[in-house]
Structure 1
Amino acid sequence: MNKEKRVSRRDAIGLGLSAFAAAQLPARAQDAASGGPKIWLDMDQAALDDAYNQRIYAPNIDRVLAQHRYMNAQASVQLEAPERIAYGEAQIEGLDLYRTNGSNAPTLVFFHGGTWRNNTSDQYAYIAEPYVRNGANVIVPDFAAVHEIEGGLEVLVDQVRRSVAWAFEHAADFGGDPSRIHVLGHSSGGHLAGAVLTTDWSGDYGLPNHVVCGGVCVSGMFDLEPVRLSWRNSYLHLDDASVQALSPQRHLDHLYAPAVLVYGSSETPEFQRQSRDFAAAARAAGKQVEVVMADSFNHFEIQSTAANPYGPVGRAAFTQMGLSAG
């Protein structure tokens, strides 16, 4: 598919999106071309740093995150407590498993955002709830905080890949269909979802290449070179080799499943460009990819829609997984 879908905020709200998410439109940050030496494209260092700082483009962030906490508290009451299961040996290598009713159900593995440094699985029951209610198992893995470990981002990428390998190998044990494993990730979790989608499963993990049958990457980063040039490298410590190894866009030969790229029109210019460029590169490589641009959603508002089957993210995931909202 070569046409980018455009979903308006009005359409999303009309389909049931929380009025809270529409309460305030984001302000624009500084113009990208601000006069200093160009570091990346037309951006100087300050503009590039701003383009990888989502808060600057989301003046309502505190309200949106408060709403996420409220949604999570509500979902935690509605859902049965998840099973906590180890997918690896490190203390952090555990996952929350939310089971749906029935057997041979699809499974969604969700990777949270937080600059690869923050947040934990128990904050995302609200993402799991609509999928569980409508016939899918949901897995939310924990993974290391990149600034607290040796080995850097490569460790996190391996951890999330192993969490998906665990889901594939144990699907029958928890009522899942191993041929229907999907991934969803937001922000830095969008990068991790992209890394999972471009895994060399047979070469690196001894598994079939079609471990994952589809993925939705929301506001992710798929070529890490501009990230390396930005303020984020103060804790990521990326170099040329790690940029090459950990950039999903550079491993499209291992993209075996269809992908949907979702971003908001009120996000930073780089978070918008990253999704568009990944999609363009994937299409050029003959891969099945779709782009959804959601009008007037900022980086944090777009995450809210993952919990709504009628919002831009939820609709993409439900459609890909073959779920119907009840």
Structure 2
Amino acid sequence: MVKSPRESLHRIFRHNPELFAHTLSRLFGVEVAEPTSIEVLNSDCTELEPLERSVDSPVMVHAPDGDYVVAFEAQLEPDKDKRRRWPYYVSYLHDKYACPVILVVICQKASTAEWARTPILVGMEQRPTLMVWPIVVGPDNVPVPTSAEEAAQDVPFTVLAALTHGHDKDIGGILRMLAEALSTVDIDTAGFFAEIGLGDTDARKTWRDLMSAQTYPYQRTLLQEEREKGIEQGIEQGREEGREEMAAESVLSLLRGRGVTVSAVQEERIRSCGDLTVLRDWLLRAATATSTAQVLND
């Protein structure tokens, strides 16, 4: 399922255990042991009182020199409430798992990243009882690849660059390099990364256009949701305005939206089809076919 932009910002680290170590090294010059594995923890920090507190993505990192917890938080905009909750998250996880806790905040805007970097002091300013200093990853410190070859050398980091630079004017170039880089990894991994959540932005439209303009081996996963959604919409609208007519229109719209040529003869054949089962099959094929002949099985 296509993920929301906020979910993508923190879940990418859960999917790739090595990305956290690479990010610390590349952005902050901090070297940590390469994780041997990670364990996704329960994100619920709720106590007995009816007040929910949940970390976005807490993970237990198992490394040769000792275990530690990383709490990944996605932050789209400044939020004063988070400056009270982050120290709680850190304290709670430290107490529960009895090991070091690292707070990592991932942002899509430079202004939000700058806000998040301010240390949080609990107690007297002159002598704080607790200080929480988040490690912040954002568009102002995540470099973008300069070529498809460079993007392919570290695909997870390229995905992170695309996520954090989602509001950049040159996001199209980053996404084109990412699209090429995804062809160098296995299809399941590429399918996971291809579903990056870019929100309601120009970046999202650019990514969809890229996926529609060319045939990539990992598109099948990416388009699964659109196929299911298209079928459901076609059936529901068909009940109201003529099921066959709307299903035929869905097939034609999907083909043309992906840049597939439809001749006048082929259009007439699709529109004149009165078999809803056949139209459903055509709609499924239209999501991945490179020609209308493939859809019609000519």
Global fold match (TM > 0.5): no
Structure with greater helix share of residues? 2
Query: Which has the greater radius of gyration?
Result: 2
State the TM-score, normalized to the length of structure 1.
Answer: 0.28
If asked which structure has higher relative contact order (CA below 8 Å, sep 6+), I would say 1
